[in-house]
Structures are given as structure tokens and as C-alpha cells.
Chains A and B, each alone.
Chain A
Amino acid sequence: MEDFRESVIHIAYIISAALFIIGLKRLSAPASARQGNQLAIGAMTLAFVATLIDPEISTFWTIIIGTLIGGGIGYYLARKVQMTAMPQLVALFNGMGGGTAAVIAVGEFMKFTRDGEVTAGEGLSVAFGVTVGCIALTGSLIAGGKLHEILPSGAIRSPIQMPAAILLVLAVGATWVYLLAMGGQETTVWIMFAVALVLGIALVIPIGGGDMPVVVSLLNSMTGLAAAAAGFVLDNQILIIAGALVGASGMLLTVLMSQAMNRPLSNVFFGAFGAAGAGPAAADGEAKPIRQTNADDAAVMLGYAQNVIIVPGYGLAVAQAQHAIRELADELDKRNINVRYAIHPVAGRMPGHMNVLLAEANVPYDQLFEMEQINGEFQRTDVVLVVGANDVVNPAARTDQTSPIYGMPILNADAAQTIIVMKRSMKPGFAGIENDLFHLDKTRMLFGDAKAALADVIAAVKNV
């Protein structure tokens, strides 16, 4: 009977692998993305059910209780958390996956050592699974903490970081050598586990909050590789296939993201270890002039414009003003004003984040324009309304070679006739860089909470 059960499991895993592959393919096109995700859910469910009949499984209570607790917590968070907090939620789930892979590798290693000799392949898979899984676990938690601003979001730097990181890498390397060359013992793996956890913290702590999306994406890819390593440890094909798919696609996604932000990966990681004084200090001593405006004046500028472009940023999402901005756009639309949204690839906290947030507020697709489509339109635009965006419209990215964001593609908001900037205060953005756009003659600053300020402007537009 065991042969029969194993055949059933193998067939189920093969179908599951095919479903994961088709699902991922569907996920890469907007029209079929949701279906793709559902195919992947089907693949996971099939693999889960098939594993339950595995003859090696004799204890079920840990599986049932664990699945109910973990699944319940995951489902609750996924449904309740606000869409703005979604990047840190993804980071949290990613950390959980990394932790799982590490735990599997440790558990299996204990069985290997008990059953006799550990082969080179087994030792290598265990070492990789433990190390990468642990780094993904603590790295993701730190990244999530920074995104959630529980931890300081800036780059935390000190002169001991570089030596400390090197020391930790050497320590992990030593446990690898001991495990692979001398067979190692349980203690070796536990030391590896502990040191890799600290290494994950040490690697992510020095990276600034602005780079966190790239870091989360990279850690996501790493967890995929750790899952594949767990597959090698267990000799389980579906883990290898699903893990390798995520490892590879996650790595490509990381590269695409860092290109969109013009932050080469080497900069993200090693830039943090460089001289702390990089970039122009925001403290120029004297404050540059700004021109303030109020809701009524802003309403007049908007109400008598022909072309308006809205540049939404993370501040809009934080203030939960997605619905208010759509209401304003509807109001302008009634006056036959051409309203469009310019979406920077990294608006929000991650590429595509802003599209999700605006879709939630029912903003029509055909009003959303990506940077390449709309950048030539700004000079023919009467009013640009920048709401809670900062770095993505900072002209320093084009002109100032010393700026940390120099070379990042930006929205050419400064080419418009008039610019209205809605902002909470003059505080610099997430990247902590001064923005010259705010000091132009044709720029008007409208301070306040985006939602409240928009409500005032909407009321005023109705009376114009």
C-alpha cells in the first residue's frame, strides 16, 4: 500500500508543480493575474492534501494545531491590515517562510546525525537552508519594522558595522567548514542558526528606509532559495520547484525594482557601509523661501485650468486620502477639465503600490499614466497637484550630481505652469533629501493633512 500512496503523492506533486508554473505565468499579466493567484492557491492546497497521506507522517496533532494557528493568524492579518501597511505585511510573511525553512533544515539534520553519516549533499543543503532561512527571517523582521516605523527608518550607521558584519560572515563560514569537512554535530547547526539570525539583523539595519522595497524583494528571493534547500534536505521535488521558481523570479523582480529606482543593488547593500557623510546636508543654514497658498486659491487655480495632472505619493496613502483625491478629480471632470494621474514606478513604498491604492478608491484605469507615458505632457499642463509625494518629483535627481538620488528617473512636475504641493510640513521625504521643487517661483505650498486639505479644496472648487 505504501507504494500506491507514494505514487499518488508524486502525481499530486507533479500536477501541483504545473499549476504553480501556469499560475506564475498568469500572474505576470494584469488581466489574468487574479486567476494566476488562484491557480497557485490550488497548487498549494493539492500539495498540502497529498502530503497528509504521506506514510512517514505518524503524528497529526502538531500539523492540525499548527496549520489552524498559523493559517488563522495569516488570514486575519491579510484581511485586516490596511493596504498602506501591505509592504511590511509581505515582509512579515516572508520572514515566517524563512524561519520555516531554517527549522526544517535543523530538524532534518538531527535525524541525519542520528541515522549515521551525513552526506556532502545533505550537509550542504542543511547549511544553506539554515543560513539563508535565518538571514531572511531576521532581515525581514528588521525591514518590516523599518517600513512600519517601529524602528528608525533611516540608515543606522556606525564605524563598527563593517568589522562586525565581516566577523559574523566569518563565523558562519567557520560553522559551514566544520559541518561539511568534519561532519559536525547538532551544536554546530545551532551555532550556525544563532549567528545567521544576528547576521540578518546586521545586514539590514544599516540600510535606509527608502531602499527597503528592494531589500524585501531580495529577502523574498532568498526565502525561495531557502525553501528549495529545504527541498534538497527532504528530497522533496515540489519544494525544490516552487522554491527555485520564487528564488529566480524574485531575483529578477529585485533587479527590475532597483532599476526603476535607479539604485544598483551593490549601492543598496554596500552604500550603507560607505562614508556616512554622502549627499548634501539638508541643513544649508538659512531657510530657502517658499510660497504658501490656501484652499480657496488652490481651487481657483484648479477650477480654471484645462489640463491637470495629479502626482500622488505615499503621503496621500498615509492620510487615507485616495477617496478624497478621486472626488476632487470627479469634480474637475464635471467642469470638463482634463485630469490625469502620473504614477511614478516607485510611488508608494513599492513598485505598483500606488496603483493598488488608487484602484481601491475606484480611480478609473484610463486616468492612470505611467512615467514614460506622461512625462512629455507636463510642459503642456496648467496645474500639477502633488499630493504627499516628494522624492519622485525632486529635480535634484536630474541636476545635482552630489544628490543621493541623482540619476533616478523622476516625474517632470517642474515643467508645468503651476505646481501645487500638498504636504504635511516642510519635513524632507522618506529618503531625507531637500527638494528644490518646493522653492520655485511657480510652486505653491498647501500645508496640512492631505485628507482634510483635499476636503477644503473640493468644497472650494464647488463654489468657483
Chain B
Amino acid sequence: MSLEFVLAIYVFLLTVFLGIELINRVPATLHTPLMSATNAIHGIVLIGAMLVAGAADNTLLHALGLIGVILGAGNAVGGFAVTDRMLEMFKKKPVEGQ
């Protein structure tokens, strides 16, 4: 195994512990928005799909890259948009009549 690969495993491991700590005390009210937000965050795969699509040099790789970018962009944009729509409703509303 290369040193780069081992270092990447360390990064992965530390981030796993961090991820657990970050949302350890989340109230049940936020479970749905949080699931939706984390769903959007893994839309980061879009970046990976861009690298596959951008470096493609034959038809099959172009096709795979294009499919990846479409799916990844849908995950990222749609995920963040629906989360924002959900959280928008949680903001304090001005009291009517004021």
C-alpha cells in the first residue's frame, strides 16, 4: 500500500469520529432536515464525476462521465434546494398584524 493511501485512511478515520461528534446532540425535530442536508453533502460525488468526464478519452468514458455528472448534479443541487426549502419554514415568522 502506498503512503498516500494509508494517509487517506487516517483522514477517513478521523473524519468518521468527527462526523459522529458533530451531530451527537441533535433534537428529533431536526432529524429530517439533517438527513436531507447530509444527503445533499454526499452530492460531492459530482466533483468525482467531473474528473471522470473531463479526463475521458473514449466514448464509453464520456458516456459514463456524463451520466455521473447528471446524477451527481441532481443529488447536490436538488438535495440542497429541498433542505433549504424545509429549513426556511423553521425561521421565526413575524407576528401577524404588526
Contacts and interface: CB of A to CB of B under 8 A. Distances in A.
B22 A228 contact: no
Contacts of B72: 66, 70, 96-97, 100
Contacts of B54: 54, 56-60, 62-63
A226 B12 CA distance: 12
Nearest to A251: B20
Contacts of B80: 37, 40-41, 44, 78
A97 B78 CA distance: 11
Interface residues of B, number: 81
B74 A96 contact: yes
Contact of A62 (B19, B65, B75, B91): B65
A412 B36 CA distance: 30
Interface residues of A, number: 113
A348 B69 CA distance: 33
Interface stretch (A147-155, A230-238, A308-316, A456-464): A230-238
Interface string B3-44: 011001001100111111011111111111111111111111
Contacts, number: 373
- The DSSP consensus for interface residues of chain B is helix
A350 B55 contact: no
A62 B51 contact: no
Contacts of B11: 237, 240-241, 244
A81 interface: yes
A241 B9 CA distance: 10
Interface string B36-62: 111111111111111111111000111
Contact of A355 (B29, B52, B69, B85): B29
A246 B41 contact: yes
Contacts of A101: 45, 48
Given A70-B69, A240-B11, A362-B93, A97 B45 contact: yes
A37 B87 contact: yes
A67 B69 contact: yes
B45 A239 contact: yes
B90 A62 contact: no
A123 to B, nearest CB: 11
A58 B70 CA distance: 18
B45 to A, nearest CB: 4
7 contacts: A48-B46, A51-B47, A58-B54, A59-B65, A70-B71, A355-B29, A359-B90
Given A51-B50, A69-B70, 15 more contacts: A75-B77, A93-B75, A104-B49, A104-B52, A227-B44, A236-B47, A236-B51, A239-B45, A242-B41, A242-B42, A242-B44, A245-B22, A246-B19, A356-B33, A356-B89
Interface of B: 1-2, 4-5, 8, 11-12, 15-20, 22-56, 60-62, 64-93
Interface of A: 20-21, 23-25, 27-30, 33-34, 36-38, 40-41, 44, 47-48, 51-52, 54, 56-60, 62-63, 65-71, 73-75, 77-79, 81, 83, 86-87, 89-90, 93-94, 96-97, 99-101, 103-104, 106-108, 110-111, 119-121, 216-217, 220, 223-224, 226-228, 230-253, 256-257, 260, 345, 348, 350-353, 355-356, 359-360, 362, 365, 370
